[in-house]
Amino acid sequence: MMASKRAQRRKACGDKVRYASQADALRAMLGMKRERRTKDYMLAYHCQFCHGFHYGHPPARVHHAIAARQSRRGPSQGLF
């Protein structure tokens, strides 16, 4: 079953902080991760609803695809 557009917007944008650029979102995400000392896998992304940038946990399928790509490249070229 597909979620409604309103539900998709709430999940993607909802009450998240909107950043003007991906660099700003990444900076905030890294600061939060440093402050909370967490190793959670997160990404900064462009929001299709507000056209700003947010950060958060990617869907499992995205996380698995990135992990598979990194394992093919080797450990020296990984992402966050």
pLDDT digits (tens, 9 = 90+) for 5-53: 888 888 778 889 999 999 999 999 999 988 988 878 898 999 988 999 9
**Domain count of the chain?**
1
Greatest Cα-to-Cα distance within the chain, rounded to the nearest angstrom: 40
Tokens at 42, concatenated:
């997160």
Tokens at 32, concatenated:
């939060």
Q: Is pLDDT above 60 for 75?
A: no
**pLDDT tens string 51-61:** 999 998 888 88
The verdict on residue 2 lying in a domain is no
The verdict on residue 52 lying in a domain is yes
The verdict on residue 3 lying in a domain is no
Domain range for 53 = 16-77
